[in-house]
Structure 1
Amino acid sequence: MEAIIITKDQFSDLMSKLDLIQNQLNTKGDNKKETFLDNQEFLLLMKISKRTAQTWRDEGKISFSQVGSKIYYKLSDVEKLLQEHYNKSFKGR
């Protein structure tokens, strides 16, 4: 095995670069932003009517935000709705 000798300054420089890389990797996960769908995008994605979306909101099936008359849904809430109503395939009859 070959040994490599570096100075204290070189070692400090290397460690600071490693710290910088580690910080960038840690903050990269924090920058994940939530995607919002407006009501029209939600209707098209789910292939449902406005009335069905209203019923789902009234029944608490889907969470939403409302700003004035505009309604928004988190994409993660839509995925959660689909996962909660997921049915595994039935075994062969």
Structure 2
Amino acid sequence: MEVVTIEKRTFLYVCERFTEFAKRIESLYSTHTQKVENWLDSQEVCPLLGFSKRTLQYYRSSGRLAYSQIGSKIYYKSADIEKIISNCEIKNQSPKQITSYEKN
């Protein structure tokens, strides 16, 4: 084992530089990392929304639902699916007007 001695001032300088380096790395890491998002395929989305595959296709083509396609497989962000579900819940909470139907 080899022992190396350095001046206290040099040691403190190296420690300070290392701390600055660590802070810079943490800063870069926090600004360049993205939150990993869950992606769902059509087979997972249809039961969640209660949609047929055709209705899901209509939502895609009308621009109501964003999607990504890799090859022939289509994926949806879970946040977008949650948004559609919450919009449906909000609409369902509004009072509906009941109109009576009388037969003549």
Q: Which of the five TM-score ranges fits, normalised by the shorter chain?
A: 0.5 to 0.7
Q: Residues 25 and 69 from structure 1, CA distance in 2 versus in 1: closer, same or farther, beyond 3 angstroms?
A: same
Counterpart-to-counterpart distance in 2, 1:87 and 1:69 = 33
Equivalent in the alignment of 2:15:
13
Which residue among 65, 77, 95 is the counterpart of 1:74?
Answer: 77
Equivalent in the alignment of 1:52:
55
SS in 1 for 2:48: helix
SS in 1 for 2:56: helix
Say whether 1:35 aligns with 2:38.
yes
Equivalent in the alignment of 1:87:
90
Residues matched between the structures, number = 84
Q: Percent identity?
A: 31
Shift of residue 19, structure 1, vs aligned partner: 3.4
RMSD value, Cα: 3.1
TM-score by length of 1: 0.60
State the AA in 2 paired with 1:60: G
Q: Which structure has the larger Rg?
A: 2
Query: Do the aligned residues in 1 keep the contact of 2:42 with 2:74 (CA within 8 Å)?
Result: yes
SS in 2 for 1:72: strand
TM-score by length of 2: 0.55
Query: Do the aligned residues in 1 keep the contact of 2:46 with 2:52 (CA within 8 Å)?
Result: yes
- Any idea what the Cα deviations from partners look like across 1:38-92, whole Å, max 9, x if unmatched? 1112223323221221111121100112233311112233344456x363866xx
Equivalent in the alignment of 2:65:
62
Structure 2, unaligned runs of 5 or more: 1-7, 95-104
Query: Do the aligned residues in 1 keep the contact of 2:49 with 2:85 (CA within 8 Å)?
Result: no
